[in-house]
């Protein structure tokens, strides 16, 4: 909890880590934050002054998948090292304390690090009824507002916290909203994904840890370094898309040859995330490499954005039924117009007065 | 490296452009002494890409290990000046991989702060020994 | 509303609405046309004729003798636009998937580079025919709001599609949403504007070929 | 009674049909019809663009027979067609369109514009916007049997002349003949040789034929002015005579619109198919030739070309027959650049020649034919339409061109091998 304690460089040094080891740490941190290697000196310089931040982690309407993702990040590792550098003062899944003691820890952290601590949230917040989700008798909404008040910044981890996620899927029975719908007076950084890539979570923490600020964000509040490009653009199967080679089913020749999964519903073109480069499980693979299309889990509204296995260009509404209904309406309206036209023409024919040579000029 | 049945070009489509980039980096190194570091983790690599790249670069004369916060291997490839730097943690898991185009990779050199520490430490040690002899 | 939500609306409700209006409009317009009827021609047709309605549906795609030279921009621009547009519309794999989603029919697509070139050609041709419409005395004289509207409604899907494909101006999701919306605009307008020629051209060419054909002329 | 605007609009509503609705729906204002129309190509004035000549008819269609057009009219977004507008369009519909149908051949969406102009004239005439000259011609045709006021006595005089000149018998009112021969006023007045020629050819072929005292005139001003009621009366005279005399075939003379009137519009005007055939004289000549009943000798050995009358070739389907005959008779026969079904009009068809108001324009647009003749460098032109012939002879005079025009039937008659 020692916000005013030694800097991170000092901590590492105390642990007997050499300058060379420190530089290695900086290099791996840069890679983790998706920053170019040329940023290493800047990171090194920043870490000379960076101090361990206090972190409070709140979990609302969520499935703990985000926490699972984070803890499954191959610790001990650079992420582990980063986590050692933060002071995780409250996380009701991970902490040993429970009940009143846990809440006391949160309150203490808030008090001691007022204005400086980092608030991490996973899960969405129900606005429908405060009783839908509570912790220690406090509604999610109240706890979020109270805890966010003294935070330096809020990091919304996971698609639920970032955009509402599955709880907000139609018909959204709990009235779930994302953090950004409630917290308007603090910087809110979104780390969407269902779950987010663990190194992206730690990468963002590393950035805050290193530079004491949030990284550059896009219009949806996501760090550009990780969400700047679409899966499709960074996908190693992209050349197949360009060549028009597609897997038609999950077990055909194309699928075996690793052709593009667009026709099988891959949402890579409209999904902005780092899966294709950072990958999962220590960089082993990512869904497309494993033969399944991207489902777009890090995009707002992905849960209602149409079936996972329909190509992106396919209609997702009741198009066929609509055309059918319109055709019936068209036939009916057409028949009505046709009858009207026929009768109009018939009456014109009935009104025809035989033209004689006396009718070729207007009467003067 | 997961094995994939494909031998289509797109599975290793990124190796060639990367090799080209390395070639340009060598030119820059010769011309101005500018070093280049490429983070392999930041590139979209197909399943065969990395193997392809490493096979193309080959093995060179230097193979060093740095033991600082876990073992890091610094290996010169068959092309002088092109180094493959792999950082591992204490349990041997790979944390980051870089291609470094330099006369000597930064990390292989002793760091000024560490040298200063060492000078101090050696002086300390000498003083103690002299004290013992006295 | 985020870009993805806009796209979702466009792919869902928007597309359903647009297709419904388009289908409704096409049927209505066809009824309007055919309800006016056509008197049976009592004059005996020629026994053997080189012309017919079906023949003219195809043959009118070629310029008659001498006309190409008199109006090259109209013909070249027209060909490049229509062919480029057709390739882009029918041979871009995502478009084929759309048709498959609606009808279950599908056919092989073309490589993206070919589609890309076709789209660029179609866009350039559209600008060429617009320039010609503004400068050629006949076209300028004939043209009104509807002509320029039809031009714009045709350009928008091509342009937004091209920008989306190349990830320029806006991000892909937003551009794709705008692309789908512009197509929907085109679909809604199709039955009620000059764009209806895409349907009625087959009818009018058939009548022309039939009228000439019974007299023994291949038109 | 008299012509009124309402009768005109009512006529529009009557004539608008599915083909016209599809044509108007298809037009994209590409302007190509203008490039096919000699009234545009020779003047450069965009108002002569063929599809533009139909604008009032198009608006009437849109406002009467389309849902959106009706709504636009009801909400005041679209203004109704006015009588002033029809008056303004009169010269476009009557003076600058010969119903040649060349535009109908080029329209990329297949619009038969000539078909529409013919229909539009129904409304224009009913509204009293037909030009003076055509009204006069039509009135005369109904009253006297000929648009030029030619009476049977004149025909009788020509019969006598031809009988004397060629020593042939010209039968009149003969029943059960193979052919009923008709003439146009122009032939009766200017080219009576046609009658002699037809007589000699049919006699040599051993065919029976006749003239009819009450139906000698083949032309039909009713069609040109666009008054089907009058056109029916005129064509009815021929049908009546043909049926009374029980002929097998009616021969339309060397006149384009006469052929259209009897062959194609006739049964539709009468509302029933005919019990006899209708053929153009060129078709008859070709029939006889095929049957070996047309024996020719000698040739006209000088450079000449053939002018296709629009209604006979493009709108009538008779374009091979004259070529077969000319290839036999004229070794130096040359085609014009645009010939056959893509020919250029003489500029006086479709009633334009009867419309004095159109005369200056008619002379201007003849520049196209003039250029075609000059390009070929011929001094002789053969044709098969007396109206084309008169129009072109006037224009050749106007441009001081020394080119003679021959009727194809006379040319054939001059080369009959009468010794056989």
With CA atoms as reference, report the closest residue to C1 among A305, A37, A102. Answer: A305
Q: Is residue A317 part of a domain?
A: no
Q: Which residue of D has its CA nearest to A339?
A: D65
Q: Is the pLDDT of residue A90 over 90?
A: no
| pLDDT tens-digit series, residues D305-337 | 999 999 999 999 999 999 999 999 999 999 999
Residue A78 pLDDT class (50, 70, 90 cuts): very low
Chain CA centroid to CA D68, Å? 38
Q: Are residues A189 and A277 in the same domain?
A: no
Q: What is the DSSP letter of D263?
A: I
Residue A76 pLDDT class (50, 70, 90 cuts): very low
Q: What does the pLDDT read at residue A73?
A: 62
CB contact C31 to D (< 8 Å): no
To the nearest 5 percent, what fractions of chain A are helix, strand and coil? Answer: 45, 15, 40
Candidates C142, C145, C188, C190, partner chain D, best to mutate (most D CBs within 10 A): C142
Q: Are residues D112 and D177 in the same domain?
A: no
| Mean per-residue pLDDT over chain B, rounded | 84
Q: Is residue D295 part of a domain?
A: no
User: D101-130 b/e with 16+ CB inside 10 Å = b?
Assistant: bbbbbbbbbbbbbbbbbbbbbbbbbbbbbb
CB contact A30 to B (< 8 Å): yes
C145's tokens: 């709001």
Q: Are residues D286 and D315 in the same domain?
A: no
Q: Are C30 and A334 an interchain contact pair (Cβ–Cβ within 8 Å)?
A: yes
Q: Which residue has the higher pLDDT, A32 or B113?
A: B113
Q: What percent of chain D has pLDDT over 90?
A: 95
Q: What does the pLDDT read at residue A84?
A: 66
Query: What distance in Å separates residue C97's CA from the closest CA in chain A?
Result: 6
Q: What does the pLDDT read at residue A18?
A: 84
Alpha helix segments (H runs only) across A52-167: 65-71, 78-85, 99-112, 140-149, 158-163
Q: Are D135 and A360 an interchain contact pair (Cβ–Cβ within 8 Å)?
A: yes
CA distances from B68 to A19, A20, C106, D392 (A): 9, 7, 59, 106
Q: Could you give the number of structural domains in chain D?
A: 3
Q: Are residues A255 and A348 in the same domain?
A: no
CB contact D220 to A (< 8 Å): no
Candidates D12, D21, D49, partner chain C, best to mutate (most C CBs within 10 A): D21
Candidates D27, D28, D259, partner chain C, best to mutate (most C CBs within 10 A): D28
- d(Cα A271, Cα D49) in Å, to the nearest integer? 54
D242, containing H or E segment: helix D228-245
Chain D touching partners, 3 or more CB pairs below 8 A? A, C
Q: Which residue of C has its CA nearest to A346?
A: C36
DSSP D310-356: TTTTTTT---HHHHHHHHHH-TTEE--SS-GGGPPP-S-TTTGGG-G
Residue B25 pLDDT class (50, 70, 90 cuts): very high
Q: Is the pLDDT of residue A83 over 70?
A: no
Q: Are residues A140 and A252 in the same domain?
A: no
Q: Are C2 and A337 an interchain contact pair (Cβ–Cβ within 8 Å)?
A: no
Structural domain span for residue D360:
304-414
Q: Could you give the number of structural domains in chain A?
A: 3
- d(Cα A303, Cα A236) in Å, to the nearest integer? 25
The CATH class of the B9-106 domain is: alpha beta
Candidates A360, A362, A364, partner chain D, best to mutate (most D CBs within 10 A): A360
Q: Are A28 and B87 an interchain contact pair (Cβ–Cβ within 8 Å)?
A: yes
Q: Which of D85, D104, D130 is the last residue of a domain?
A: D130
Q: Are C43 and D264 an interchain contact pair (Cβ–Cβ within 8 Å)?
A: yes
CATH number at D274 reads: 1.20.1050
Contact: chain C with chain B (3+ CB pairs below 8 Å): no
With CA atoms as reference, report the closest residue to D348 among D172, D109, D151, D137. Answer: D137
| pLDDT tens-digit series, residues A168-222 | 999 999 999 999 999 999 999 999 999 998 878 888 888 888 888 889 999 899 9
Query: Cα angle vertex A332, ends A329, A334, to 5°?
Result: 100
Q: Are residues A70 and A202 in the same domain?
A: yes
Q: Are residues D126 and D141 in the same domain?
A: no
- C-to-D residue pairs, Cβ atoms closer than 8 angstroms: 173
Q: Is residue A316 part of a domain?
A: no
Contact: chain B with chain D (3+ CB pairs below 8 Å): no
Which of D25, D29, D35 lies at the smallest CB-CB distance from C142? D29
- Residue with tokens 């619109």, as numbered in its chain: D257
Q: Are residues A178 and A287 in the same domain?
A: no
Q: Is residue D333 part of a domain?
A: yes
Q: What is the mean pLDDT of residues B110-133?
A: 89
CA distances from D201 to A101, D205, D219 (A): 126, 6, 22
Q: What does the pLDDT read at residue D288?
A: 96
Which of A341, A357, A363 lies at the smallest CB-CB distance from D230? A357
Q: Are residues A194 and A283 in the same domain?
A: no
Q: Is residue D420 part of a domain?
A: no
Q: Are D128 and A337 an interchain contact pair (Cβ–Cβ within 8 Å)?
A: no
Q: Are residues D121 and D92 in the same domain?
A: yes
Q: Is residue A315 part of a domain?
A: no
Q: Are residues D78 and D147 in the same domain?
A: no
Q: Are residues D11 and D150 in the same domain?
A: no
Q: Are residues A206 and A271 in the same domain?
A: no
Q: Is the pLDDT of residue D342 over 80?
A: yes
Which of D2, D64, D143 lies at the smallest CB-CB distance from A359? D2
Q: Is residue D403 part of a domain?
A: yes
Q: Are residues A104 and A246 in the same domain?
A: no
Q: Are residues D190 and D81 in the same domain?
A: no
CB contact A269 to B (< 8 Å): no
Alpha helix segments (H runs only) across chain C: 3-9, 15-34, 53-59, 67-70, 72-91, 93-103, 112-135, 137-142, 145-165, 172-189, 197-214
Query: What are the contacts of B128-134 at 24+ separation with CB within 8 A?
Result: none
The answer to whether C171 touches A271, Cβ cutoff 8 Å, is: no
Question: Domains in chain C, ordered, with CATH?
Answer: 3-26+63-214 (1.20.950.20)
Q: pTM, whole model, 2 decimals?
A: 0.87
Structural domain span for residue A346:
325-359
Q: What is the mean pLDDT of residues A245-273?
A: 94
Give the dihedral sign, CA B92/B96/B101/B107: negative
Q: Are C208 and D68 an interchain contact pair (Cβ–Cβ within 8 Å)?
A: no
CATH number at D91 reads: 1.10.1060
Q: What is the CA radius of gyration of chain A?
A: 30
Q: Is the pLDDT of residue A15 over 80?
A: no
CATH number at D386 reads: 3.40.50
- Contacting residues for D418 by C-beta, under 8 A, at least 6 apart: D200, D204
- Which residues of A, range 73-132, sit inside 8 Å of B by Cβ? 74, 76-78, 80-81
Q: What is the mean pLDDT of residues C19-45?
A: 96
Domain ranges in chain B are 9-106
Q: Are C43 and D112 an interchain contact pair (Cβ–Cβ within 8 Å)?
A: no
Q: What is the mean pLDDT of residues A149-169?
A: 95
Q: Are residues A109 and A39 in the same domain?
A: yes
Q: Which of A177, A208, A227 is the last residue of a domain?
A: A227
- d(Cα A56, Cα A208) in Å, to the nearest integer? 14
A351's tokens: 């009104």
| pLDDT tens-digit series, residues D93-117 | 999 999 999 999 999 999 999 999 9
The answer to whether D312 touches D387, Cβ cutoff 8 Å, is: no
With CA atoms as reference, report the closest residue to D378 among D310, D282, D301. Answer: D301
Q: Are residues D209 and D277 in the same domain?
A: yes
């Amino acid at each position: 909890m020692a916000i005013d304690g030694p800097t991170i460089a000092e901590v590492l040094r105390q642990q007997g880590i050499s300058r060379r080891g420190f530089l290695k740490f900086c290099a791996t941190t840069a890679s983790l934050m998706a920053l170019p290697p040329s940023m290493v000196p800047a990171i090194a310089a920043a870490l000379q002054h960076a101090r361990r931040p206090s972190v409070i982690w709140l979990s609302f309407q969520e499935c703990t998948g985000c926490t699972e993702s984070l803890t499954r990040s191959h610790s001990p590792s650079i992420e582990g090292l980063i986590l050692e550098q933060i002071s995780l003062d409250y996380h009701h899944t991970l902490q040993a304390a429970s009940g009143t003691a846990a809440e006391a820890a949160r309150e203490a952290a808030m008090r001691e690090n007022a204005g400086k601590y980092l608030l991490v949230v996973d899960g969405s917040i129900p606005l429908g009824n405060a009783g839908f989700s509570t912790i220690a008798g406090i509604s999610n909404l109240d706890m979020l507002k109270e805890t966010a008040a003294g935070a330096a910044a809020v990091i919304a981890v996971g698609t639920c916290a970032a955009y509402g996620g599955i709880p907000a899927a139609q018909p959204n029975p709990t009235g779930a909203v994302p953090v950004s719908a409630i917290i308007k007076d603090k910087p809110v950084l979104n780390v969407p994904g269902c779950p987010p890539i663990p190194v992206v979570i730690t990468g963002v923490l590393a950035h805050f840890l290193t530079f004491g600020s949030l990284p550059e964000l896009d219009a949806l509040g996501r760090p550009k370094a990780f969400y700047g490009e679409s899966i499709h653009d960074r996908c190693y199967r992209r050349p197949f898309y360009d060549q028009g080679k597609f897997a038609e089913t999950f077990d055909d020749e194309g699928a075996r040859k690793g052709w593009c999964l667009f026709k099988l519903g891959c949402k890579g073109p409209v999904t902005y995330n780092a899966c294709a480069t950072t990958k999962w499980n220590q960089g082993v693979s990512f869904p497309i490499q494993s033969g399944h299309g991207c489902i777009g889990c890090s995009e707002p509204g992905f849960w209602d954005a149409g079936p996972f296995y329909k190509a992106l260009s396919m209609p997702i509404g009741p198009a066929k039924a609509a055309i059918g209904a319109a055709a019936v309406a068209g036939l009916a309206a057409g028949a009505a117009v046709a009858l009207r036209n026929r009768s109009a023409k018939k009456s014109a024919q009935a009104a025809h007065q035989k033209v004689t040579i006396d009718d070729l000029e207007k009467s003067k | 490296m997961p094995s994939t049945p494909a031998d289509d070009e797109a599975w290793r489509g990124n190796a060639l452009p990367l090799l080209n980039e390395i070639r340009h980096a060598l030119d820059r190194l010769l011309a101005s002494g500018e070093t280049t570091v490429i983070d392999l983790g930041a590139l979209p690599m197909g399943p065969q890409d990395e193997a392809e790249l490493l096979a193309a670069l080959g093995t060179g004369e230097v193979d060093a290990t740095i033991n600082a916060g876990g073992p890091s291997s610094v290996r010169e490839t068959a092309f002088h000046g092109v180094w493959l730097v792999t950082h591992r943690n204490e349990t041997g898991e790979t944390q980051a991989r870089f291609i470094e185009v330099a006369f000597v990779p930064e990390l292989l050199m002793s760091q000024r702060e560490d040298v200063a520490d060492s000078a101090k430490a050696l002086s300390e040690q000498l003083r103690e020994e002299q004290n013992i002899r006295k | 509303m985020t870009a993805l939500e806009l796209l979702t609306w466009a792919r869902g409700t928007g597309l359903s609405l647009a297709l419904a209006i388009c289908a409704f409009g096409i049927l209505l317009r066809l009824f309007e046309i055919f309800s006016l009827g056509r008197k049976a021609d009592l004059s005996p047709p020629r026994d053997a004729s080189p012309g017919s309605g079906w023949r003219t549906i195809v043959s009118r795609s070629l310029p008659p003798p001498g006309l190409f030279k008199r109006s090259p921009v109209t013909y070249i621009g027209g060909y490049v636009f229509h062919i480029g547009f057709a390739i882009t519309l029918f041979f871009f794999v995502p478009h084929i998937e759309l048709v498959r989603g609606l009808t279950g029919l599908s056919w092989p697509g073309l490589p993206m580079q070919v589609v890309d070139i076709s789209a660029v050609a179609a866009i350039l041709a559209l600008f060429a025919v617009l320039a010609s419409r503004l400068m050629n005395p006949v076209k300028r004289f004939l043209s009104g709001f509807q002509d320029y509207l039809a031009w714009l409604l045709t350009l928008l899907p091509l342009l937004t599609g091209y920008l989306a494909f190349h990830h320029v101006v806006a991000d892909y999701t937003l551009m794709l949403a705008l692309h789908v919306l512009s197509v929907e605009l085109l679909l809604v307008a199709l039955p009620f504007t000059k764009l209806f020629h895409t349907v009625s051209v087959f009818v009018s060419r058939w009548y022309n070929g039939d009228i000439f054909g019974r007299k023994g002329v291949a038109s | 009674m008299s012509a009124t605007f309402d009768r005109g609009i009512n006529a529009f509503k009557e004539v608008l049909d599915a083909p016209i609705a599809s044509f108007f729906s298809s037009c994209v204002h590409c302007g190509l019809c203008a490039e096919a129309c000699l009234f545009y190509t020779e003047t450069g004035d965009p108002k002569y663009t063929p599809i533009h000549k139909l604008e009032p008819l198009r608006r009437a269609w849109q406002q009467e027979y389309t849902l959106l057009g009706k709504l636009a009219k009801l909400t005041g977004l679209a203004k109704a067609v006015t009588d002033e507008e029809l008056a303004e369009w009169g010269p476009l519909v009557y003076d600058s369109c010969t119903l040649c149908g060349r535009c109908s051949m080029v329209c990329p969406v297949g619009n038969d514009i000539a078909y529409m102009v013919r229909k539009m004239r129904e409304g224009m005439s009913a509204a009293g916007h037909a030009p003076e000259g055509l009204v006069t011609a039509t009135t005369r045709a109904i009253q006297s049997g000929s648009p030029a006021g030619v009476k049977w006595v004149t025909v009788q005089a020509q019969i006598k002349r031809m009988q004397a000149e060629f020593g042939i018998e010209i039968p009149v009112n003969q029943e059960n003949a193979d052919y009923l021969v008709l003439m146009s006023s122009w032939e009766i007045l200017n080219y009576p040789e046609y009658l002699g020629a037809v007589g000699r050819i049919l006699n040599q072929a051993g065919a029976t034929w006749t003239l009819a005292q009450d139906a000698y005139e083949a032309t039909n001003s009713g069609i040109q002015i666009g008054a089907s009621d009058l056109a029916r009366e005129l064509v009815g005279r021929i049908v009546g005579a043909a049926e009374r005399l029980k002929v097998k075939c009616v021969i339309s003379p060397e006149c384009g619109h006469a052929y259209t009137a009897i062959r194609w519009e006739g049964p539709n005007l009468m509302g029933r198919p005919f019990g006899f055939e209708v053929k153009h004289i060129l078709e008859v000549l070709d029939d006889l030739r095929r049957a070996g009943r047309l024996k020719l000798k000698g040739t006209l050995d000088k450079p000449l070309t053939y002018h296709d009358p629009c209604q006979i070739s493009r709108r009538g389907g008779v374009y091979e027959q004259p070529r077969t005959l000319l290839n036999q008779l004229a070794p130096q026969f040359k085609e014009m650049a645009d010939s056959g079904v893509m020919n250029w009009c003489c500029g006086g068809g479709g009633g334009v020649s009867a419309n004095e108001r159109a005369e200056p324009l008619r002379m201007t647009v003849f520049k196209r034919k003039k250029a075609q003749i000059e390009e070929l460098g011929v001094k002789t032109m053969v044709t098969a339409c007396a109206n084309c012939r008169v129009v072109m002879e006037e224009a050749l005079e106007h441009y001081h061109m020394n080119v003679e025009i021959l009727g194809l039937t006379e040319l054939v008659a001059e080369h009959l091998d009468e010794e056989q």
